[in-house]
Amino acid sequence: MPLKSDIHINVAKFEPSNTSEGTAKANEDLINLLRDGPKWFEMGASKYRKMRDAGETPIPKPKLLPDGLDIEIPSRDSDRAIPCRLIYPSWRKTTEERKKTKAIGYLIHGGGWVLGDQHSADILLQFYADAGDLAIVSVGYRLAPECPFPCGPNDCIDVGEYLVKDGKGVFGSSLKFIGGESAGAHLSLLVAFHLLKNLSDFKLSGLILHYGIYDLTMLPQCRNFVRPNLILDHNLMRKFVDAFLPDMSDEQKKDSLISPYYEDLEKFRGRLPSALFTCGTEDPLLDDSVTMATKWMMMGGEAIVKIYTGAPHAFINMKDKLKEAMDAQEDTKTWIKDCMAKL
């Protein structure tokens, strides 16, 4: 009987020829759409953000939901609060009803630590709220290059600590989920590790980690991925990292407070929450999801890894273009319900 591996990979998910015709065409359409668009690193991040908010870039202007609430959460700086967005399940309309949500979900937006804010993803926040009967808080953390590391992570940690300590009194339920996309997934892991280290009684039910970057020195897939204008490639990722971590060496980037890939997970054995890792195969951050999930499982944590053949970076927001986005949202909903059933 041949020797069997202790780790198994569904190779078919990673085979380029298994990309559907529809997804391949959608990717080419994205490349054509973004090819001649403005670049934040050429015109300046601040100007680009204003253009994006005005709907003047190829990326659609974020849609704000009328039931979304703008709130502020205290920061570690006495003279400054952190802007946040609060979304409740669509069927909970009154203050009394909203106090009955089953848990708090804390979502951190993506955008390479440079772009986006708490208003970037109301539609996705509503999806999460409805999927688990959750009160969803999205943080408007400070952005690079104006506010490089550690400003953004500090804001995210401050909001996380507030939700653990005061969430039940303010929102009616406890913090059980943390998650985000891309840079938001990176920040989610930093927050989760901080809370697990510093709050011994804190128990997290789940981490939602969509196509995150966990090693900011960049793993091989990121270094070798060259498909300009398919949302993200190595060169653009380098621009984001340089803005977030100016003048920092690769050795410095391996600090676990910067790159959660280098965190000693042994100290969390038995405390790691279930983690959902999602990524498309046309994403420079694929290695990050696959290897981080493997490390997670090695330490006894449950890691659900879902790979979407041919999907590009940030695909979960593209339901109108990609079947994989619909699949990923359904998978996420199933996973949230599975986690909620264990509470």
The per-residue pLDDT for 308 is 99
180: exposed, middle or buried (C-beta count within 10 Å: 0-12, 13-18, 19+)? Answer: buried
Q: Which residues contact 115 (CB under 8 A, 6 or more apart)?
A: 40, 45, 48, 49, 52, 143
Distance CA 69, CA 67 (A): 6
Distance CA 7, CA 15 (A): 18
Axis crossing angle, helix 21-35 with helix 323-341, rounded to the nearest 10: 110
The per-residue pLDDT for 1 is 87
142 is written with which tokens? 């400070």
b/e per residue, 188-223, with b = 16+ CB within 10 A?
bbbbbbbbbeeeeebebbbbbbbbbbbbbbbbebbe
The yes-or-no verdict on residue 227 having pLDDT over 90 is: no
Q: Tell me the per-residue pLDDT of 283-300, one tens digit each, with 9 for 90 and over.
A: 999 999 999 999 999 999
Q: If pLDDT is split at 50, 70 and 90, which confidence band does 226 have?
A: confident
Amino acid, res. 194: H
What integer is the mean pLDDT of 159-177? 97
Q: Tell me the per-residue pLDDT of 45-98, one tens digit each, with 9 for 90 and over.
A: 999 999 999 999 998 889 999 999 999 999 999 999 999 999 999 999 999 999
Count, residues in the chain: 343
Q: Which residues contact 126 (CB under 8 A, 6 or more apart)?
A: 65, 87, 90, 136
Count other C-beta atoms under 10 Å from residue 64's C-beta.
13
The per-residue pLDDT for 200 is 86
Count other C-beta atoms under 10 Å from residue 146's C-beta.
11
| Whole-number average pLDDT of the chain | 97
What would the CATH number be for the domain defined by 64-341? 3.40.50.1820
The per-residue pLDDT for 30 is 95
The per-residue pLDDT for 60 is 84
Place of tokens 């986005």: 325
| Peptide bond connecting 220 to the previous residue in cis, omega within 30 degrees of 0 | no
The per-residue pLDDT for 142 is 99
Global confidence as pTM? 0.97
Q: Tell me the per-residue pLDDT of 98-127, one tens digit each, with 9 for 90 and over.
A: 999 999 999 999 999 999 999 999 999 999
The per-residue pLDDT for 59 is 87
Distance CA 311, CA 325 (A): 8
